[in-house]
Structure 1
Amino acid sequence: MPDQKTVLVVDDEPRYLGLVQINLETDGYNVITAMDGQQAVEAVAHNKPDIVLLDVMMPVMDGFTACERIREFSSVPIIILTAKGEERDRVRGLDAGADDYIVKPFSAQELLARVRAVLRRAERGHIEDFHEPVFRHKDLEIDLARALVTVGGKEVSLTATEYRLLQTMASNLGHVLSSEELLTSVWGPEYKDDKEILWVCLSRLRQKIEADPKNPIHIVTRQGIGYLMPPAEEAA
């Protein structure tokens, strides 16, 4: 099929690798596999998958390092696979540039739902909510036609989720958005209570677009209320 999506599945456990591959292929995806982080980096570079499912605990190169390496040259959506209860792994994976996480063991339905949700976010990132082709806020520019972000004239590389978060804030210029509103808009209604994933993504986004991430001017926090992109004339 012409619009068939390719999924790279990376896991050193053959049992998980096989089960995930079967479930994805049954749902119509093309699947390629790798068994360590180094293979994952090479597969992304050579095969250009549409999404990556990346286990964190692997030999040769772990998933965290692989995620960081991939982010050096690609914004492909990445879902990390973590062990149950390992909150530190989830945060570390999101910090490394992952778009989402799924906790082992997981059902086929949960896996497929997460993959669909992340792919939808990546595609929605190119849907525009603005009347002008270029959105400007102080030294920040968003070229909607090319989904290109620059700060001070220099291009900034964002993941699909980071771009969608920035776009959502920009399209609500001057309006405070609650955590629940952002999570529902960017990640989907099933994520409305997952504030951790928002905090990590927002922190990562600020590191990329703010001159001083601790004193942001593009996306500011309204304590106890939500987040705001203030009108440019109000931005400090």
Structure 2
Amino acid sequence: MNTTTVLVVEDDNSIRNLIGTTLKSHNYKFLVAPDGKSAILEASTHNPDVIFLDLGLPDMDGVDIIRKVRTWSNVPIIVISARTDDEDKIKALDAGADDYLTKPFSIVELLARLRVVERHLSSQPQSAVSTSVFVNGPLRIDYASNSVTLDDKELHLTPIEFRLLTLLSKNIGRVLTHNYITQQIWGSNMDNDIASLRVFMATLRKKLEKGSNVQFIQTHIGVGYRMLKVD
């Protein structure tokens, strides 16, 4: 039996059963919650390793659930929603979601995202030992503590935003293609990955540019992104 426990928060019975059956067939332990109230109870009581969260629940909005969970836990939250507008994605990501999948989704993609989360979870103890710090002008990234400061002020990033910034910083000056970035961050090169990448990059750049007038990330249209060296 896989040691990872997944909490599936979904009010649609057929989708909830599909995800549950998939997890069971791949030897994952899982819990289910059909609404927000039971989701918060399950999350606080059983402390799952990962949460799959639908936003359109009958008793509360999924974004509010993310905010509540984030008051006590950093558990990875993967949103699975029919909402496709970038604004909805940004709200969920800003609230603390780690990833966003739009319905309809493929089971292959869902499992790929879950494996990426597992890899990051398993690598955390090793990364905590690292003491390396990256500095680029007013930008400072502490890889060990997962913290970022800009002009000596802490920058609050979502886990995906931090991983994107880390990837770009470790390849400063190099143009990283969309496919390379999505493979490194999500472990796949599916259409949803490219759309998600654009959303995450938009929110990341907005936070960097709001905190400083310096341009750190350059877009190469149709190709990818590059971190610029700042004096």
Question: What TM-score does the superposition give when structure 1 sets the normalisation length?
Answer: 0.76
The percentage of aligned residue pairs carrying the same residue is 34
CA–CA separation in structure 2 for the residues paired with 1:189 and 1:152:
35
Q: Which amino acid aligns with 2:181?
A: L
Structure 2 residue aligned with 1:221? 219
Q: Which amino acid aligns with 1:87?
A: T
Q: Which amino acid aligns with 1:5?
A: T
Cα offset for 1:18? 3.5
Number of residue pairs matched by the alignment: 225
Q: Which moved more, 1:65-74 or 1:173-182?
A: 65-74
Evaluate the alpha carbon distance shift between residue 105 and residue 149 of structure 1 in structure 2; reply closer, same or farther with a 3 A threshold: closer
CA RMSD of aligned residues (A): 3.2
Q: Helix, strand or coil for the counterpart of 1:231? A: coil
Q: Which amino acid aligns with 1:6?
A: T
1:165-176 alignment runs, 5 A limit: 165-176=164-175
Structure 2 residue aligned with 1:177? 176
- 1:164-209 deviations in whole A, cap 9, x for unaligned? 1111100011222232332222222333774211111112223434
Cα offset for 1:24? 1.4
1:129-140 alignment runs, 5 A limit: 133-140=132-139
1:83-162 alignment runs, 5 A limit: 83=82, 87-88=84-85, 92-97=88-93, 98=97, 99-104=99-104, 106-107=106-107, 109-121=108-120, 123=122, 133-162=132-161
Evaluate the alpha carbon distance shift between residue 21 and residue 226 of structure 1 in structure 2; reply closer, same or farther with a 3 A threshold: closer
Task: Note the residue ranges of structure 2 that are not aligned, 5 or more in a row.
Answer: none
**1:121–1:187 Cα contact (<8 Å) kept:** no
The structure where helix makes up a greater share of residues is 2
Structure 1 residue aligned with 2:228? 230
Evaluate the alpha carbon distance shift between residue 96 and residue 72 of structure 1 in structure 2; reply closer, same or farther with a 3 A threshold: farther
**1:54–1:81 Cα contact (<8 Å) kept:** yes
Question: What TM-score does the superposition give when structure 2 sets the normalisation length?
Answer: 0.77
Q: Helix, strand or coil for the counterpart of 2:189? A: helix
**2:113–2:186 Cα contact (<8 Å) kept:** no
Q: Which moved more, 1:150-159 or 1:161-170?
A: 150-159
